[in-house]
Structure 1
Amino acid sequence: MRQICVFLLVILLTSCEYFNVKKTSSEAILNEELQTFNWNDVDEYPTFASCDSVSTKEEKQQCFTSVLTGHIFKYLQDEIIVVTKDVNDTINLKLQVSETGIIMLLEAKVDSLTIQEIPNINNLLAKSLDGLPKIFPAIKRGQQVTTEFKLPIIIGVD
């Protein structure tokens, strides 16, 4: 009987390790989640109402950029731009769409010849964004987020 009691006591003392609960702090969980989080990609790109019928993520992105570039081209075509030399340039726009759907021109990389021929090109590009239809912001993990992207615009004035 004594041997059984000693045996149960040994088992009882060594089995306590199996009942210890390892606690993980919320900061450790957050840090682990942030390391696996891809900050450079969104679940859904910003979109216009006219792009709702498109189903895939890539098609929505392409629809958004085509509507945006089409609107900018139309605005620039409606403007009277007088130049002394032909201008053929690619302007790289850096745009931001806020979590509320407001688009803003952050930067426009324009060649010096284009600026010389069209000194107000930056103002024209900024104004071209004013009349855009309603933009639905990008979505990441169910939340509306601010996104930045680059958009090349080819300018050709004869």
Structure 2
Amino acid sequence: MRFIFTLLFFFLLISCDFFKVKKTSSQDILNEELKAFNWTDVDEYPSFSSCDSIAVKQDRKNCFQNSLALHIWEFLKQEQITVTQDITDTIVLKFNLSKDGILKLVDTKMTITTRNEIPNIEALITQSLDSLPQVYPAIKRGQHVNAAFSLPIIINVD
């Protein structure tokens, strides 16, 4: 019996190392969280009020992009654009959307022909953004965040 108590006491002394709790600093937790954090994706894409009822994330993104492209296209369709040759081009528009919902055209990529034939195309696109309905910013972890995205627009002028 005495041997059993001695053996049990010995195991208790040795097992104390197993009960030690490793302390993790808040900085270590933050570093681990930042490594696992996906900085390129948002929880909710930017949207217009017409797209708010859509629940599927990808469908909501498509609704936003299609609504924006349609708005720009409708504005350009109303303008009198005169060209000396036919133009069929895809313009890639790069936008920044602030966390306050302010949409800004940052860059446009188009062929030299399009740029020469329609020199004010960037100004027209920027002007079309002034009449946009309210844009709701992207959301990441419950917070409004800045977002950058590209949008291709097909220009076909005869």
Residue 151 (str. 1) matches residue 151 (str. 2): yes
Counting only pairs closer than 5 Å after superposition, residues 2-151 of structure 1 correspond to structure 2 as 7=7, 10-151=10-151
Distance 2:153 2:145 in 1: 25
Distance 2:62 2:5 in 1: 75
- Which 4+ runs in 1 deviate beyond 3 A? 1-9
Q: What is the TM-score of this pair, normalised by structure 2?
A: 0.91
Unaligned runs of 5+ residues in structure 2 are none
Q: Cα deviations across residues 55-80 of structure 1 (Å, max 9, x unaligned)?
A: 21111111101110011011111112
Distance 2:147 2:51 in 1: 18
Alignment size in residue pairs: 158
Q: What is the TM-score of this pair, normalised by structure 1?
A: 0.91
Q: Cα deviations across residues 85-139 of structure 1 (Å, max 9, x unaligned)?
A: 1111100011111111111111100211011101111111111111110011111
Distance 1:125 1:111 in 2: 16
Identity %: 54
Distance 1:22 1:89 in 2: 61
Unaligned runs of 5+ residues in structure 1 are none
Using the TM superposition, give the Cα deviation of residue 4 of structure 1 relative to its aligned residue in structure 2, in angstroms: 6.9
Using the TM superposition, give the Cα deviation of residue 16 of structure 1 relative to its aligned residue in structure 2, in angstroms: 2.2
